[in-house]
Amino acid sequence: MTVEEVKNAIRNVPDFPIPGIQFKDITTALDKPECLKWMRDEMVRRYKNLGITQVVGIESRGFILAPAVAMEIGAGFVPIRKPNKLPAETVSVTYAKEYGEDVIQIHKDALDENDVVLIHDDILATGGSMAAAIELVKKLGVKKIYVNCLIELEGLPGRKVLSEAGAEVDCLMGIEVDE
Ligand code: AMP
């Protein structure tokens, strides 16, 4: 399996969820065992020797690979969720979206200053949601943060935004935003 083969398995859905958006649908790669395994293995290869203690997945497509990778590298899994989903005490970050605001939450006791964290999501677009996730994880005082997305949408400022925030960003593949 090559990165090009996995890329070709990702479906582009024009005008979803709103006109003008080229939606990158990973479900057509996830349902192919060899693509699913490639994505898991590629992440494990990149992150196995970094002392990562917790893999943090962003709801909801960050929940697909994060636990699989966590198990392989000997880390735990921690969810970042939309508001009012986590049952115990949480910390929150509010961030601006194209239209309005969004809030994300994490359990307050999920991470501490001894943790080395990998934050994972499926797609890096403008970087807004990942920047908010970094801010959220930083609130819990962790030792170090790595950032990974399956796909980087090229032509958008996501990587620049996150690098300026001091995060080490790595994506498995790049796809042109209008491709
Ligand atoms: P952003 O905050 O702009 O980096 O957007 C990242 C989040 O929005 C990720 O959780 C993605 O799942 C989703 N997303 C943004 N753009 C797309 C796209 N073109 N196709 C699929 N999902 C997207």
Question: Half-sphere exposure of residue 173, counting CA atoms within 13 Å on the CB side?
Answer: 20
Q: 164: number of CA atoms within 13 Å, CB side?
A: 8
Q: How far apart are CA 166 and CA 104, in angstroms?
A: 20
CA distance 174 to 179: 11
In this prediction, residue 54 carries a pLDDT of: 99
CB 72 within 8 A of CB 48: yes
State the pLDDT at residue 110. Answer: 98
**Cα 158 to ligand 1 centroid, rounded to whole Å:** 10
Instruction: Give me the pLDDT at residue 173, please.
Output: 98
How far is 129 from 68, CA to CA, in rounded Å? 22
The pLDDT assigned to 167 comes to 83
**Which atom of ligand 1 has the smallest separation from the CA of 21?**
19
User: Ligand 1 site: residues with CB under 6 angstroms?
Assistant: 21-24, 61, 121-130, 153, 158
Pocket probe mutation, ligand 1, options 60, 61, 129, 152, max atoms within 8 Å of Cβ: 129
pLDDT less than 70: residues of the chain: none
- Tell me which amino acid residue 52 is: I
Q: What is the pLDDT of residue 98?
A: 74
What is the model's pLDDT at position 100? 87
Q: How is residue 119 written in tokens?
A: 């934050």
